[in-house]
Amino acid sequence: MTQTSARLLIVGPQGSGKGTQGVRIGDAYGVPVVSTGDVFRANITEGTELGRRVQQIVEAGNLVPDELTSEIVRDRLAEDDAARGFLLDGYPRNLGQVSHLDEFLTGRGEELDAVIELDVPRAESIERLSLRAQQQGRTDDTAEVIAKRLDIYENETAPILGVYRERGIVDRIDGVGSLDEITERIFAALEARGLARRAAA
């Protein structure tokens, strides 16, 4: 049986291409891509109360606490365009946030349909990020900084995938190949779960 709503999460290390793939999935399934980074920036730009709180924390060089991150995501998922589904990118990023998301979705009688894990070898991620840093002239993306980011991903995000694997909703996708090849792998996995793409207009 095919399902017309899609509540999805995309997970992958920096340099895995999840931002690009996320946009493609959102377009194909007609759901908004909810990236915590984008939501933070939008709140800061709009000068909302949440945005001011986030800005103070970030300017002090601290990480946004789980409670506040979850509050901002809940706020975004309560908007009309997310009623039929969404694609989360960058949240939840640790076990505490998984609990917050579970609580929110359970309260709405919903659950995640699938977790897309973009599997990219560490060496490939480092190569892609180093290349991107060169192309964009980003001097802050040193080999040490990149390695530290990947360590955080491996230490904090691996346990999340363990939780979702136990629920049987993780689709591990080979993240090496052309953009189109990877997109097709993702679509095939979601289709196998009975998740229907939106008909082209």
199 inside domain: no
> What's the pLDDT tens digit per position in 126-141?
888 888 888 888 776 7
25 inside domain: yes
CATH number at residue 185: 3.40.50.300
127 inside domain: yes
The identity of residue 94, as a single letter, is N
197 inside domain: no
Positions annotated as catalytic residues are 18, 93, 132, 138, 149
Instruction: Domain count for the chain, please give it.
Output: 1
198 inside domain: no
Kindly report the pTM of this predicted structure.
Answer: 0.89
Is 200's pLDDT higher than 60? no
Strands 170-174 vs 114-119: parallel, antiparallel or unpaired: parallel
149 inside domain: yes
Q: Which two tokens stand for residue 75?
A: 């706020």
- Its domain, for residue 164, covers 6-192
Percent over 70 (pLDDT), the chain: 96
